Amino acid sequence: MKKIRLGVIFGGKSSEYSVSLHSVSSLLRHCDPDKYEINCIGITQQGTWYYLQKPDFDKIEHDHWVDDTVVEMCLSLGEKKGIILFDEKRTLKELDVIFPVLHGKNGEDGTLQGYLELSQIPYVGCNVLSSSCVMDKEFTHILCEHAHIPCAPYICVYKRDAKDLKKIYEDAVSELGNVLFIKPCNAGSSYGISKVRNYEEFVKGMEEAFQHDSKILIEKNIEGFEIGCAVLGNDELVVGECDEICTEKDFFDFDAKYELEATHIYCPARITKEQSEIAKRMAMKAYRVMNCSGFTRVDMFVCKDGNIILNELNTIPGLTATSRYPSMISHAGYSFSQLIDRLIELAME
């Protein structure tokens, strides 16, 4: 059987660079070498693209992958689909499909997807428009609310308009309540997110959020807890079991996500069967509204009154063997290796 020539892209110019290294090293260890001819493509934090001639999964995971065996490269935009190495022969290595394992800006926001579209190489995950809209929390709110999917009440503030923070704060408190969440519209892994209870915390939170994006969301604090749902597919959708985040922290921040600091994940979530069905239907509807394909994790809140509202979507969720998405979709019958196979099949449809 002819092997599928698989390109796997990782790293990138994003604050979530280290998250990508952990995801991709786990994914690579679970790729069947009898099925795939694996071609590793790493992007440094400075934005240089390298082809790894002798990929070492441990070195990738611990960020020691740039060595004397890597060669600078780019994607081919010609008739032959693949990558061009910047060696003496300008070697072309043809690819059948690409699996991008990057999180955040320049990897999950449609930027990379646009480059992949130009290369005409099939790729895993959402397309350009879906990726960029999902990445932007304001656009997610606008589109999903238009489709009658309940979301947290919010105010959007652009940096250019943030001259009078005192007035913005007073308006936000008047409209949304005394406890607020500040979120960069285009960032992931909880970078730049703050829970604020007074004006001093508000000013600090706004300053931090604007370091990550020029547009921020101020959201009403939702009393309750967060759940997630894994959705898989193109035309026909499969949903995994819902999971539940139980944290002693103010919110599910970076340390809680990746170190499980004062946090525990329950899968299945400790909710009623009716709530689980509602959450799964909401997840599938949000997936369709945002025109997702391949896979996406949909995050929601279970409110104090038992109602469920949308939080956000993640088009390239964490992909270690113990990450939330693989854990949830395993309840639909997919092992991690089977999930990888299915995602590649969906990309090549």
Reported as a single tens digit per residue, the pLDDT across 169-207 is: 999 999 999 999 999 998 765 778 999 999 999 999 999
Which 8-state DSSP code applies to residue 268? Answer: S
300 in Cβ contact with 279 (< 8 Å): yes
- CA dihedral sign of residues 22, 252, 232, 268: positive
Which 8-state DSSP code applies to residue 151? Answer: B
Write out the residue limits of the CATH 3.40.50.20 domain(s) in the chain.
4-123
CATH number of 4-123: 3.40.50.20
234 in Cβ contact with 294 (< 8 Å): yes
pLDDT at position 247 is 78
Write out the residue limits of the CATH 3.30.470.20 domain(s) in the chain.
133-149+223-347
User: Which residues partner with 297 through β-bridges?
Assistant: 230, 314
239 in Cβ contact with 280 (< 8 Å): yes
User: Which residues partner with 216 through β-bridges?
Assistant: 157, 184
Give the whole-angstrom CA distance, residue 31 versus residue 1.
Answer: 16
pLDDT at position 188 is 66
End-to-end CA distance of the chain: 19
Reported as a single tens digit per residue, the pLDDT across 282-301 is: 999 999 999 999 999 999 99
Give the whole-angstrom CA distance, residue 172 versus residue 94.
Answer: 53
Angle formed at CA 107 by CA 287 and CA 184, multiple of 5 degrees: 75
Q: Within a 13 Å sphere around the CA of 19, how many CA atoms are in the beta-carbon half? A: 25
Give the whole-angstrom CA distance, residue 132 versus residue 45.
Answer: 21
pLDDT at position 235 is 96
147 in Cβ contact with 285 (< 8 Å): yes
CA distances from 128 to 117, 143, 298 (A): 8, 16, 18
Of the candidates 194, 304, 328, 322, which has an alpha carbon nearest to the alpha carbon of residue 257?
322
Averaged over successive runs of 10 residues, the pLDDT of the chain (349 residues) comes to 95 91 96 97 97 96 95 94 96 97 92 96 98 96 98 96 95 96 83 92 95 94 96 98 85 52 87 98 98 98 97 93 92 96 97
Which one of 3.30.1490.20, 3.30.950.10, 3.40.50.720, 3.40.640.10 gives the CATH number of domain 154-220?
A: 3.30.1490.20
pLDDT at position 190 is 72
pTM over 0.85: yes
- The three-state secondary structure class of 5 is strand
Query: How many residues appear in the chain?
Result: 349
Q: Which residues contact 93 (CB under 8 A, 6 or more apart)?
A: 5, 39, 51, 82, 83, 85
pLDDT at position 75 is 97
Q: Which residue has the tokens 């400790």?
A: 270
Could you tell me the maximum CA-CA distance found in the chain, to the nearest angstrom? 66
pLDDT at position 210 is 94
CATH number of 133-149+223-347: 3.30.470.20
**Six-digit token pair at 291?**
């025109």
Can you point out the beta strands (E) in 185-307? 194-196, 215-220, 224-233, 237-239, 243-247, 263-266, 294-303
**Six-digit token pair at 240?**
């995994």
- CA dihedral sign of residues 66, 314, 208, 141: positive
- CB count within 10 Å of CB 253 equals 20
**Residue 178, Cβ density class (10 Å: 0-12 exposed, 13-18 middle, ≥19 buried):** exposed
